Each structure stands twice: as structure tokens, then as C-alpha cells.
Amino acid sequence: MPELPEVEVLKRSLQKKIRFSKITRIRIYNRNLRYKVPYSIKRNLKNHVVNNISRISKYLIFHINFSKKLLVHLGMSGSIHLIEKNNKINTNASFYHSSYLPTKHNHIEISFNNDIKMIYNDPRRFGYFKLLKKNYLSKKPIINLGPDPFSYKFNFEYIKNFIYKKKINIKNLLMNQKFVGGIGNIYANEILYYCRLKPTKTVNQLSKKNILNIILQARKVLNKAIIFGGSSIRDFKKTDGVPGNFQQNFKVYGKNNAQCPRHGCNGYIQKILTSNRSAFYCPKCQI
């Protein structure tokens, strides 16, 4: 599943290609995604302009004519492809970029007046499209999300109050979307490495210094991942077809039995399971 950096890269790609473009046609080939695609999408969006594309956590928000909004969640295997008129084979804004787009899993196609088509492809169909109302920030799913890691709301007092009397481990906390939006398994592992914290450390053991460092390192790791274009686990590529390469900067994720990269540490990365998810850490310098 894409995490915050990959969705942010995709958002920026879409802004470059379709922002200020008019929707001329919408085709729904398969309504059976995680939730039924509403037929009203056609009526509400056709002949309107995409004024902006924003991101909330792992969700994309298409702002249509300032009053209408469309939420898109990619789920486990959803991808967005942009096909230009003179290049009908290769896609150039795909999460799982491929020169061949398997039409079997193309569920929604949106055409724009600049001769670009946006195709939503999803083999597992866990993603979904949802029209949002004016008060969408106070409705599901947005209302259930924690603050963005880059938000001023993600601060010491917020974390201190959230973890009060809780005994869950720190890795599960970072992956809890009600606590903070957008961090998944990959980046939780990397953040904890930089914080020198063991994934199984319970949150009631965190010091003030630990909490402040979590805020700092979360922003550093995520921002660096965005700059590097996301992580190419499998075959993610950016809008220009160049693979995201933050995975080349992984310190612990997927590095089981490798020597710890921290200067002066002679430990070896171990893989453990926390809530049936892989966790990678150095038992010598992450305590």
C-alpha cells in the first residue's frame, strides 16, 4: 500500500498534468470497488474544471470548480495512469508504472480537454472514489484521521495526551492512522531507526526527548522520501517514468541480517513481527 510520500509524489504529478483542465468524459467500467462507485460522479463532475489536487494522509482530493470535491483512495493495489493522446501505450503517472496497462483492471476513465485520459486501475479493488460534501472535514473518513506529520498539530502536547495511559508499542502507534495520518510500515521502521527506538518499546516508556525526536525524525524521513520520489517497492515510478529511489536510502527496512549502518555500531539488523507486520531494527543501538 502506498504511504504518504508516494501519494504526495502522485499528487504533484497530477497537479502538473491535469490541474486547470476540464473533464469532458467519464466512463465507469466497473462500479464494484471497495464501495460502489456512485453514478452521480458523471453528473457532478463532467464539464467541470479540476482547480487543484490535494492530499490528506493517504487520500487524494480533487477540487472541482471550488465547490465539488472527489476523494480517491488507492487501497492496496490501486494506481492512477495518465495517457496522453500521442502516447496511448506508455503511462506516465502510475503508482505501478508499466508500458502495458492491463485493461481488465481499468475501472474508471476520465478524459480531459487537453487530450489526457486519467485511468484508475485496481486488480484487488480495495480502493474507492467518493464525492465529498462541503463539510467533508468533519465527516468520515477524514474526521477519523490523525494530524498530518508535517502539521503544527502534530506536536509534543498532542502526542503526550494521545499516549496517556496507553501501553501499545511505538511502531503500532506510528502506523495508527487515528494517531497520525500517512505513515505505514516502511516509514515507521525507518523513523524508529533514526530515533534509536526499538519497535516494541511501549509508548508509556517514552521520554519528552523521545517524543520530540519522533516528531523531528518523522518529518525528516518523510520529506527525504518525497524528494527522492518515493520508494520503488515493486515498480513505482514518478510522472516522468523514473523510479522513486528512496529505497536506496533504507537503513533497516528489508535489511534482515545486514550490519547496522550506524557509524560505530557493530550490531546486525533483525526482523521481528509486531501485529503480524514485519519490523526491522538493530537490537544494539535501538533500545
One domain, residues 169 and 134: no
256 within some domain = yes
Task: Please indicate whether residue 2 is annotated as part of the active site.
Answer: yes
114 within some domain = yes
One domain, residues 107 and 169: no
Among 105, 122, 144, identify where a domain stops: 144
96 within some domain = yes
| Separation CA 96–CA 133 (nearest Å) | 30
Model pLDDT, residue 233: 42
pLDDT tens digit sequence for 181-217: 999 999 999 999 999 999 999 999 999 999 999 999 9
Supply the range of the domain harboring residue 230. Answer: 156-281
One domain, residues 42 and 106: yes
Question: pLDDT at residue 278 above 60?
Answer: yes
Model pLDDT, residue 2: 81
One domain, residues 116 and 160: no
The domain tally of the chain equals: 2
Task: Please indicate whether residue 277 is annotated as part of the active site.
Answer: yes
Provide the pLDDT confidence category of residue 89 given band limits of 50, 70 and 90: low
Model pLDDT, residue 92: 63
150 within some domain = no
pLDDT tens digit sequence for 26-62: 999 999 999 999 989 999 999 999 999 999 999 999 9
One domain, residues 186 and 121: no
Provide the pLDDT confidence category of residue 242 given band limits of 50, 70 and 90: very low
Query: Percentage of residues in the chain with pLDDT exceeding 70?
Result: 88
Q: Catalytic pick from 22, 42, 219, 277? A: 277
Residue 182 neighbours by CB distance under 10 Å: 26
287 within some domain = no
Q: Can you tell me which residue has the cell 492496496?
A: 76
One domain, residues 75 and 199: no
Question: pLDDT at residue 1 above 80?
Answer: no
Q: Catalytic pick from 3, 6, 109, 190? A: 3
| Average of per-residue pLDDT values in the chain | 89
Task: Please indicate whether residue 58 is annotated as part of the active site.
Answer: yes
Contact 28, 42 (CB under 8 A): yes
* Beta sheet of 59-64, edge-to-edge order: 50-56, 59-64, 68-73, 128-132
Q: Catalytic pick from 11, 55, 58, 69? A: 58
Question: pLDDT at residue 96 above 80?
Answer: no
Provide the pLDDT confidence category of residue 245 given band limits of 50, 70 and 90: low
